[in-house]
Structure 1
Amino acid sequence: MPTSQELLERTRAFVRDHVLPVEHEVVVDGRTVDDELRLDLQRRAKQAGVFGPLSAPEHGGLGLTAVEQAEVVEAAGYSLLGALALNCSAPDDGNIHLLDHTANPAQRERYLAPLASGSVRSAIAMTEPAPGAGSDPSMLRTTAERTADGWVINGEKHFTTGVEGAAFAIVVALAEDGPTMFLVDRDNPGMVVGRRMRTLDHSNPGGHSEVVFRDCAVGADAVLGGVGTGMEHAQVRLAPARLNFSMTWLGLAVRAHEMAARHVVERTAFGRPVAEHGMAQAHVADNEIDIVASRALIRSTAAVLDEHGATSSAARHAASIAKTFVSEAVWRVFDRAVQLHGGLGVCEDHFVARFLVEARAFRIYEGPSEVLRWSIARRVLRTRS
């Protein structure tokens, strides 16, 4: 097993030599991000010894702690495709963690092992069209009724990330004893994948789709973690997924910051390098501040997860703070990077425009900033009452 520094350097070299050229094909040449691309990058990552920062060694992964993941996942995030290449991109990142903590032995073999090894992709079907569940899971309308052979699921979902081409989906439905998670194979005729929604982000295979469950029959062995425990087990994946998102997008913000700094040093305006103008220096300084603050917050949150566990109140609170701050900080970095590039900043050929657009969803996915602020405030105020 390489040391932390060796693994970090390997990851940086892998992203530079293997991922950035493919990213250029995607952003500049219009190559589609599909499973052929994913599998090729993951094959190369395995050869380079950097595959699977979230996966256990038994599945070909690196078996890292959250603190150890922080630097590696940030280094992977230096490219839009880096997390995908290392098998630590959404929604598989959270699903790997969820299955590792809740799946029974048969489910681990059938679903976790191929997912953690990169053989397949997964999806999680939770968000519903109005008036169904979105940020408020208590509004869940998809139902699961017990039958003699198992369960029948009926309902509608949307923003189901990666379901097109996924091997299975983790479906949250309202059963007799409350919200429950079910493992549904993609070839189940009762799970109908509909329109791929046209969203700002395009860097994950499978996109975000509408899904309808029509008398979707599953066996009793499809229940993940127990009937009525869906919301409890949703907490298992939330803190790690929010932190992993933060690590990944911070890596891309570091790249945008470097690109912007290089551009203003090389570009001349009004008789001197742009880097000598005070307003440009202010943007560069603010980017540096946001990046350093985000990195420190991610590292401290990772330590909380390692010490207290992903479902602890301390971990949920720390991850909510980190995700809220980092999602807004990296957006500011991307926005300033676009500004510092001038007209070239809005041209996708120079990447920062694409980074900005892709990152916008980060402030919504895995919990909008407004909802996270509400939960943060509630925890703080409970200790004062």
Structure 2
Amino acid sequence: MTENYTALLEQHKKAGASFTDFGGWQMPLKYESELAEHHAVRNTAGLFDLSHMGEVWVTGPDAAAFLDYALAGKLSAVAVGKAKYSLICNADGGIIDDLITYRRPSPEEGVDRYLVVPNAGNAAVVAKELLKRSAAFDVTVEDASAETSLIAVQGPNSEAILLALVPAEQHALLTELKYYAAVEVGIAVNGTVQDLLVARTGYTGEDGFEIYVPNLDAPALWEALLQAGEGSGLVPAGLAARDSLRLEAGMPLYGNELSRHVNAFAAGLGPVVSLAKESDFVGKDALAAIKAAGVGSTIGQKLVGLKGAGRRAARAHYPVLKDGNLVGEVTSGQPSPTLGYPVAMAYVDVDFAEIGTVLEVDLRGKPERFEVVPLPFYKRQK
């Protein structure tokens, strides 16, 4: 397999990163301590390289109608400057990817523009699928993933850190920016102010920002953010911390909770699917039938949160049992650094998915007690 590296490789090496493969990319797993990085994001701030993610621009007179057809959500209803979490599904309702789509200002009258951000391992697949689905629409689909870096600042101090690099007259653009919204902001890098797209989004359960920057300028931006955060507890953070943070926040990971073999209703993402929108979309008939059959509510399996009663953690693919009988499988699990006990997500038979149900997870031959609890496990105080 070809190993891809982001434009920040040298910065990661300098910081002492340990690397791991993720979606064909060599990404920082941790720098010094994944636990310290996790706690920094919860208490101060962490700096993440997310440049393995994809960036696909959809532009044209039919852009809104096209995305209504290509994705499960109603993207035409998204206001300019806002973002929407959605799914791209196949014809049988399976999930090709979960993604975020940003509606950007129109480049000219009568033309709409969106930025679609798929996951790392699915970026090329999603770009290709969007291009294929665009044939009947007046749109241009441009995969800009190879030229774009994505840097995230996450944690309670993230706003103050970013404000240190933004001209005073533009501070309100950031301080007034709502969750799941984006804006072009001037950011000081190498002594010059560059207009960059900044989104108030993240995958950690904390307040934070994701910044889209050309590859050439990514190293300077990374260094500028680290310098701005020196007095605010900012540390570089890797995939290990990102995974424990997103698990605590109850956020699904493609390849664990989501796949082509999983549908939105079993995954608890029914509200993401807009069966009521007037237009047809890929997978609509299948998803309507799945919902009508009661999948995820009265039949089949449902994604749930599990809280461990002991100290041992459940891990992906561990069997979930009830009275010794197999009723499900863990998708993600580990000790929660913030909460101090093991947490997991699992698909279990709907008969055993009610909050408060006591189950067991087979931890390599030894059953351990886990209880079904609401998701997310952790929610930040606002």
Q: TM-score, normalised by structure 1?
A: 0.25
Relative to its length, the structure with more helix (as a share) is: 1
Tell which has more relative contact order, 1 or 2 (C-alpha 8 A, sep 6+): 2
TM-score calculated relative to the size of structure 2: 0.25
